[in-house]
Amino acid sequence: MKDKLNVALVGLGFGGAFAGIYREHPSVGELTLFDVDRSLAEKTAARIGGAGIAPDFEAILRDPSIDAVHLVTPIPLHAEQSAAVLEAGKHCACTVPMATSLRDIRRIVEAKRKSGKNYMMMETTLYTYQFLYAERMKTEGRFGKIQVLRGSHYQDMAGWPDYWMGLPPMWYGTHAIAPMVALSGSRIARVHAFGSGTMSEELVRRYGNPFPVETAIFAFENGLKGEATRSLFETARTYQEGMFVYGSDASLEWGFADNDPPLITTLAPPREGRRGGVTETTVTPMPNDYSDLPEALWHFTVGGNFDPLNPQESLKTGAGGGHHGSHAHLVHEFVSSSLCGRRPRIDEILGANITAAGICAHESALRDGEEVVIPVF
């Protein structure tokens, strides 16, 4: 087993948030950066105290010394680039979504299986303080029976790069869907969804998507159900990537805004002679979670002043705790699983189910709520 992984990081907008983490990870050897905007690669290398810069993407694929590639490029490039990385015999991590069609998900899954290398979908919500806390609550049996799950992602995309304009909301539903799948202990098997609202003709044209908002009910293989709502355009709602878990003994509900601490509600039997069980709700600040990370990365999980809506601004001030502390965990999981030759936690099977559930939800919304079965990958 190699003791160091040589990594290339490709796409340095949001991707720039990961550069310093790779640089400081004790099991990363050489770090190579690439962005079609070379000046951005140079600035990023300077900010983190040095890294190699590739002249183009193909040079990374051809370089036998590079073991693994993390893609943080625009959404329409994810499928093509992920398949190319795997076909070049390298481990591949890719930001969300995995792809925007079932055909492209299949292509990545096949490339992964042929290559024998790792594929990891870098889903931030599965390493937030909130998710890790909910996961512990589940392990400790504090929810009782999980009865139903919810997810939400409200974000206005005005002014974002062109490929976002008119994107079907559930094509990027992963932040609302992923925590539900991971906590269900199952996979999403079926979906019914509706689109709602209207938006400007310009937005409708690009993807033939008429909906600014989509809401879906997902049926899990184990019988559980989950509901998710995703808004992208012309909908006034403060930003939130929320997770809601309702159990027979306790529930966890995300705060109103993305940075608000969650509410934990417990249910006790009715008091003598009264109707209805007794609920008690506490606003619960989340503990930071870094004990399973190399010490050199701990500082990347805190810092609070990271702005997920404008990561490029946060990077200028050196903010560390992006997406509720998740970035360092994602890097560590990708690096350590690749080095050990084990499956990463968000492998091609989990990534495919989360992403395909969103693609099928949009399909259902276009068919006015008809059931769509999510293929098994």
C-alpha torsion sign, points 336, 339, 342, 343? positive
Number of residues that bind ligand NAD (CB under 6 A): 21
Q: Does 52 help bind ligand NAD (rule: CB under 6 A)?
A: no
Stretch of 33-41, 248-256, 345-353, 362-370 contacting ligand NAD, by CB under 6 A: 33-41
Among 72, 149, 203, 335, binds ligand NAD (CB under 6 A): 72
CA atoms within 13 A on the CB side of 176: 29
Closest CA to 251 of 149, 170, 163, 349: 149
All residues at 6 or more sequence positions from 123 whose CB lies less than 8 Å from its CB, including other chains: 96, 174, 175, 178, 330, 346, 351, 354
Contact call for residues 105 and 352 (beta carbons, < 8 A): yes
73 part of the interface to ligand NAD, by CB under 6 A: yes
Return the residue of 5, 7, 9, 12 that touches ligand NAD, per CB under 6 A. 12
Instruction: For residue 57, state whether it binds ligand NAD (rule: CB under 6 A).
Output: yes
Near ligand NAD in 76-105, by CB under 6 A? 77, 95-96
Q: How far is 345 from 343, CA to CA, in rounded Å?
A: 6
CB 219 within 8 A of CB 191: yes
Applying CB under 6 A, does 34 fall inside the site for ligand NAD? yes
Identify which of residues 73 and 115 has a Cβ nearer to ligand NAD in the complex: 73
CA neighbor of 334 nearest in space, from 349, 322, 351, 346: 346
- Torsion angles phi and psi, residue 170, rounded to 5: -80, -10
Q: Rounded to an integer, what distance in angstroms lies between the CA atom of residue 309 and that of residue 162?
A: 16
- Site track 294-323 with ligand NAD (rule: CB under 6 A), x = hit: -----------------------------x
> Measured from the CB atom, is 59 or 268 closer to ligand NAD?
59
Classified as helix, coil or strand, 193 is strand
Q: How far is the CB of 100 from ligand NAD (least distance, A)?
A: 10
> Of 22, 31, 35, 51, which one interacts with ligand NAD (CB under 6 A)?
35
Contact status: 75 vs ligand NAD (CB under 6 A)? yes
351 belongs to the binding site for ligand NAD (CB under 6 A): no
Q: How far is the CB of 36 from ligand NAD (least distance, A)?
A: 4
Q: Which stretch, 8-16, 138-146, 189-197, 217-225, contacts ligand NAD (CB under 6 A)?
A: 8-16
13 binds ligand NAD (CB under 6 A): yes
- 318-324 long-range contacts (CB < 8 A, ≥24 apart) are 321/288, 322/17, 322/124, 323/124, 323/125, 323/128, 324/124, 324/128, 324/129, 324/130, 324/286
| Residue 330: Cβ within 10 Å count | 26
Per CB under 6 A, 161 contacts ligand NAD:
yes
Binding site for ligand NAD (CB under 6 A): 10-14, 34-37, 40, 57, 72-75, 77, 95-96, 124, 161, 323
